[in-house]
């Protein structure tokens, strides 16, 4: 399979990080544009119109979260966040502000490339993918039908809404708030109980071993990610 190649904007104030990202991305035939600050990122974005941004959160001038917010004001270009672990809250904030995925530093290049692939696959594919199939799990969104290894599974409307939203973003992380907001509405945003109970029920129905789930993965403290391959 010939991989697609993209123009990628790498935003990080650390030259060494930019150096190895540039090397790795170029070796996969991507074109690399660089910026070392938040303002620099925005001007590079206007000038070069990259297909994807890899954005560090800790920037010297404006915060990565703020950069995300400003970019989202006029552009839907996919954003993958780079952050160190201690900035969990920032990660959620950036995701809620519109970032598409995140990676915790230190990270492997393989992981980064996989994230880039997942994110780019979603681009231009905003509508519901009618059929989702991973190993034994098959979800037909149009017909609201879920089967596990050929056996039909009965889902409540809420559970089905949840899996539909996860399927839309398969492979990407979806924050708790985003899920609650879309299933129950903005009024419930601060109460994650319903979400947890429903995810737990959903897993019990579709996961072969709910103790070690293989379809709906939990990103601790952030949200959920549906397996995608």
Burial (CB < 10 A; 0-12, 13-18, 19+), residue 197, is exposed
Burial (0-12, 13-18, 19+ Cβ within 10 Å), 210: middle
The b-or-e profile of 166-175 (16+ CB within 10 A means b, else e) is bbbbbbbbbb
Nearer to another protein, 141 or 199 (CB): 199
Residue 46 C-beta: closest distance to another protein, Å: 36
Instruction: Provide the minimum distance between the beta carbon of 41 and another protein in the complex, in angstroms, as a whole number.
Output: 26
Q: In whole angstroms, how close is the CB of 202 to another protein at the nearest point?
A: 11
Minimum CB distance to another protein smaller for 130 or for 208 = 208
CB of 143 to another protein, least distance (A): 29
- By beta-carbon proximity to another protein, the closer residue of 136 and 219 is 219
Cβ at position 31, least distance to another protein in Å: 26
Q: Which is nearer to another protein, 7 or 196 (CB)?
A: 196
DSSP code at position 129: P
Tracing tokens 């293989």 back to the chain, one arrives at 214
Dump the DSSP string for 20-66. Answer: HHHHHHHHTT-EEEEESSHHHHHHHHHHH--SEEEEES--SSS-HHH
| Closest to 213 in 3D by CA, of 201, 221, 149 | 201
CB-based contacts of 30, cutoff 8 Å, min separation 6: 5, 6, 7, 8
Q: Which residues bind another protein (CB under 8 A)?
A: 85-86, 88-89, 106, 108, 192-193, 196-197, 199-200, 203, 210-213, 217-221
Residues 201, 165, 215, 171, Cα dihedral to 10°: -160
- At its nearest, how many Å lie between another protein and the CB of residue 165? 18
Which residue, 164 or 203, is less far from another protein as judged by CB?
Answer: 203
Q: Of 110 and 124, which CB lies nearer to another protein in the complex structure?
A: 110
């Amino acid at each position: 399979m010939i991989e697609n190649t993209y123009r990628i904007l790498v935003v990080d104030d650390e030259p060494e990080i930019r150096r190895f990202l540039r090397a790795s991305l170029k070796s996969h035939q991507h074109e690399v544009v660089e910026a070392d600050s938040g303002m620099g990122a925005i001007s590079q974005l206007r000038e070069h119109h990259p297909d994807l941004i890899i954005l560090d959160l800790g920037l010297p001038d404006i915060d990565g979260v703020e950069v995300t917010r400003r970019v989202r004001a006029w552009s839907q270009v996919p954003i993958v966040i780079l952050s160190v672990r201690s900035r969990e809250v920032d990660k959620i904030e950036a995701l809620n502000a519109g970032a598409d995925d995140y990676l915790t530093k230190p990270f492997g290049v393989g992981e980064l490339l996989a994230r880039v692939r997942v994110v780019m696959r979603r681009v231009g594919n905003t509508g519901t993918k009618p059929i989702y199939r991973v190993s034994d799990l098959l979800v037909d969104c149009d017909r609201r039908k879920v089967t596990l290894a050929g056996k039909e599974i009965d889902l409540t409307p809420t559970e089905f809404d949840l899996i539909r939203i996860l399927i839309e973003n398969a492979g990407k992380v979806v924050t708790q708030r985003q899920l609650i907001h879309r299933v129950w509405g903005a009024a419930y945003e601060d109460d994650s109980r319903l979400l947890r109970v429903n995810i737990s029920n959903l897993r019990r129905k579709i996961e072969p071993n709910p103790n070690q789930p293989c379809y709906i993965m939990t990103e601790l403290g952030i949200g959920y990610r549906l397996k995608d391959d």
